Amino acid sequence: MLVIEASRLVFLANPKTATQSVRAMLRKHAMAGPWQEDGATRHAGIGPFNRKWRAVVEDRVGGRVEVFAVVRDPLARLDSWYRYRQKNPAGDSKSTQGLDFAAFVAAVLRDDPPDYARVGAQDRFTGWTGARAGIDVLFDYARLDLMRDFLADRLGQRLFLPVKNVSSVPASGVPVLPDELMADLREKLAGDFALHRAVAETGVLFADD
């Protein structure tokens, strides 16, 4: 979570959506506050923000804040998690070494997934109801240029988005899953897929649209 006082903006960092790059871009514009001392705020979604920090932040900046975040195609996001956790040493509870992507996705779908398959849910992070999100502005990971345009308008300057912590993408792209497994994934993550469709239609989704 980053708070941009001058523009009354709050960035919520949805994991595996270029969050380190966005933090690096915005860090010098962010204000200090007690939220920085709480490790749980690093990837806090809209629910925890509303419960614990909204009143504090809005008191500090002197008015209502506008919250924004990035969402990603659910399958591509899972692939990013899978490759990211390949870096963990074999035997570590969060390592995906020795697993193919299909096995990883099958683990994600379990009612009680193992540590390496705990990846969170974007619909929960954003407060998606099936019709609207609880976050004011959502950007598609594939259209980060729109986020930069938005920030340029709010901050009055164009910012450079550095490349940080990017897992290498295979030349073949995201692996193809067996049809049955893909159907199970779409059913289990129906909220995530619906959320991303809504955002991806134009690349940006405003809560009051």
Tens of pLDDT, residues 97-107: 999 999 999 99
- DSSP states of the chain as a string? -EEETTTTEEE---TTSSHHHHHHHHGGGPPP-GGGG-GGGTT--HHHIIIIIHHHHHHHHTS--EEEEEE--HHHHHHHHHHHGGGSPTTSTT--TT--HHHHHHHHTSSS--GGG----HHHHHT--SS--SSSEEEEGGGHHHHHHHHHHHHSS-------SPPPPPTT-SPPPPHHHHHHHHHHTHHHHHHHHHHHTTSEEETT-
Lowest-confidence segment of 154-158, 173-177, 178-182, 188-192 by average pLDDT: 173-177
**pLDDT at residue 170 in the model:** 54
Torsion of CA 195, 201, 205, 208, to 10 degrees: -100
Tens of pLDDT, residues 147-158: 999 999 999 999
pTM of the predicted protein model:
0.92
**pLDDT at residue 163 in the model:** 72
CB atoms within 10 A of CB 167: 15
**pLDDT at residue 39 in the model:** 86
144, two tokens: 């980060």
**9 has pLDDT over 90:** yes
Domain boundaries, the chain: 2-206
**197 has pLDDT over 90:** yes
